[in-house]
Amino acid sequence: MSNVETNLIKPFPVAFSGHTLKYEIECICKIFLPMRKFTFLYDTTQLPADAEEGAVLILEQLGEQSRFWVQVQYRGQVMEQEQQFPACSPETEKQLCEYRFSAMLFRLLEEITDLHPAWGLLTGIRPVKKVQPLLGQGLSKAEVCEKLHEKYWIAPEKLSLVYDTAMVQQPLLEKTPKHGISLYVSIPFCPTRCSYCSFVSHSIAQAQNLIPAYLEKLCEELKIWGQLVREQELLVDTVYFGGGTPTSLTAAQLEQVLTAVQESFDLSHLREYCVEAGRPDTITSEKLQTLRRFGVDRISVNPQTMQDHVLETIGRKHTTAQTVEAFRMARAAGFENINMDLIAGLPDDTPEGFHDTLEQILALDPDSITVHALTLKRAANLFAEGEQQVHNPVEQMVQESMRRLPEHGYAPYYMYRQKNTIDNQENVGYARAGKESLYNILIMDESQSIFGAGCGASTKLVEPCGRITRIHNYKFPYEYIRQFDQLMQKKEQVREICERIREQEAEK
């Protein structure tokens, strides 16, 4: 085994002295070393004696000056940088100290790895939120891009992408109703598990015996949410069924959940009702008609790729032909807002294959197309198989979608980033005007509370003061079923926060 292969297995040690600013430092390291694990050492200026690679970050107070010193060892090279600034403390000026260390570490890793991340220093998952305050100041596109480039070193094409996305979102967010909430309904089952997926989902075959009990509890939780919404005089703005694959349920089971939503909530103010149909092999005419009957007006038919050999590699048990058939069935059922998801960088895919996938999708003419960059999470099967399987030119694929989709009338309307994304790329939703998913925009903007129902669902409560509280349901169906009563006790916390929100609004 070569030294490089050995080092891919060894953790990358990071030593701190004079501070404990771990989070941002780890994020910067992951930009350049996405497949590595990290160990952290505190109150030391040295790496372990047997470490061939690693980083050391030292902060010293020298009278009226603070000394920042960073060293990186990587693949036989050693580089270091030192800077001094007016005295600052990580206790009182944490963000400033983090930024200075991050910038120094970034430049060293950039030089030593010869990688040049297009998103620069930016590590957060919501880049658009960096643009919105600048738009609020009345700055032009050039001024916004200049400020973001100066601080984060973001490449021009990404600056344009994030600015254009913010401009599409702005008028839609202005129409968000006061006292509006979104409802998320979790259906955590799939026909099979894809090799790249880390969502807590369960194959229908394995979970068959759990489904009736799960749906019974889910409908009960929806009823409880409905009571709270009425009590707090809230308006349901959007509804989103996700998972998992909601259409892995039978038509009768879907109707059971849809009925619970209809009977528990006043949907007369609803702006969007979306179901993530997902896997084409789960979509039938009967299920589509059921969704239409209950007012669902947006669905996703998600091929991920239109290359049959890639579908086989990643463990999806459907074909390109089934995707086309499912899409046409959805159109015939009357759906006028259909999204299709693609993933750039799947194993065995190529730039030529991704180009062909784009051409086939564009020929179907969906209303929106979401392009995800492959993200390897710890729970995904592919993660354990190492870096060698994921050196696809993801950046080339993403750039083609950025170029081709606007040519066909699709504009970026929401985006987010994730850790361990191959080539440090992003996920972008493109849509024709008026076909944007409001739920997707709202969940990324974090300006509206979201009530989550079902296992793995999260409730997000947004207060006028800017505080956001997250309350999580149990991850697994058996936990959700067995501990349902304890879980429902958390609704009292939601009630208290909703009342606090009312008080804050009254004080304005």
Q: pLDDT (tens digit, 9 = 90+) per residue, 48-86?
A: 999 999 999 999 999 999 999 999 999 999 999 999 999
Q: Which domains does the chain have, with CATH numbers?
A: 3-113 (3.30.160), 131-170 (no CATH), 176-492 (3.80.30.20)
Cα–Cα distance, 280 to 470 (Å, whole number): 32
pLDDT of residue 201: 54
> How much is the pLDDT for 418?
84
The tens digit of pLDDT for each residue in 425-484 reads 899 999 999 999 999 999 999 999 999 999 999 999 999 999 999 999 999 999 999 999
Q: Which of 160-174, 194-208, 475-489 has the lowest mean pLDDT?
A: 194-208
Q: What is the mean pLDDT of residues 142-149?
A: 98
pLDDT at 178 over 60: yes
| Range name among 108-112, 117-121, 421-425 with the lowest pLDDT average | 421-425
Taking only the tens place, the pLDDT of each residue in 374-423 is 886 543 444 444 444 444 589 899 999 999 999 999 999 999 998 777 77
β 202-203/235-243 pair status: unpaired
Residue pair 318/279 in contact by the 8 Å Cβ criterion: yes
Phi and psi at 182, nearest 5°, equal -110, 150
Give dist(CA 75, CA 57) in Å, integer. 19
Give residue 70's identity as a one-letter amino acid code: V
Which is it for the CA torsion 46, 22, 151, 163, positive or negative? positive
**What would the DSSP string read from start to end of 347-409?**
TT--HHHHHHHHHHHHHH--SEEEEEEPB--TTSGGGGG-GGGG---HHHHHHHHHHHHHHTT
* 356 neighbors 317 (Cβ within 8 angstroms): no
| pLDDT beyond 80 at 8 | no
- Name which of 25-39, 132-146, 283-297, 398-412 the model is least confident about: 25-39
Task: Give the closest residue to 265 by CA, choosing from 180, 175, 188.
Answer: 180
CA distance 46 to 14: 9
CA–CA dist 198, 87 (Å, integer): 44
pLDDT at 341 over 90: yes
Q: Is the pLDDT of residue 5 over 90?
A: no
Tell me what pLDDT residue 317 has. Answer: 85
Token representation of residue 346: 């799947």
Q: Is the distance from CB of 305 to CB of 281 less than 8 angstroms? A: no
| Cα end-to-end span (Å), the chain | 65
Q: Quick one: which of 498, 507, 478, 429 has its CA closest to 211?
A: 478
Categorize the per-residue pLDDT at 191 as very low, low, confident or very high, splitting at 50, 70 and 90: confident
Q: Which residues of 428-457 are buried (b: 16+ CB within 10 A; e: fewer)?
A: bbbbbeebbbbbbbbbbbeebbbbbbbbbb
Judged by DSSP in three states, 439 sits in helix
- pLDDT exceeds 80 at position 177: yes
Check: CB of residue 15 under 8 Å from CB of residue 73: no
pLDDT at 199 over 60: no
E strand or H helix that includes residue 330? helix 320-332
Fill in the DSSP letter of residue 262.
H
Helix (H) and strand (E) counts for the chain? 18, 18
Once rounded to an integer, what is the mean pLDDT over residues 200-229? Answer: 87
Task: Assign 83 to helix, strand or coil.
Answer: strand
Among 132, 168, 125, 163, CA closest to 430: 168
Give the 3-state DSSP-derived string for 198-247, with helices as H, strands as E and coil as C. CCCCEEHHHHCCCHHHHHHHHHHHHHHHHHHHHHCCCEEEEEEEEECCHH
Q: Each residue of 260-287: b (16+ CB within 10 Å) or e?
A: bbeebbeeeebbbbbbbbbbbbbbeeeb
Biggest alpha carbon distance in the chain? 75
Find how far residue 159's CA is from the centre of its chain. 19
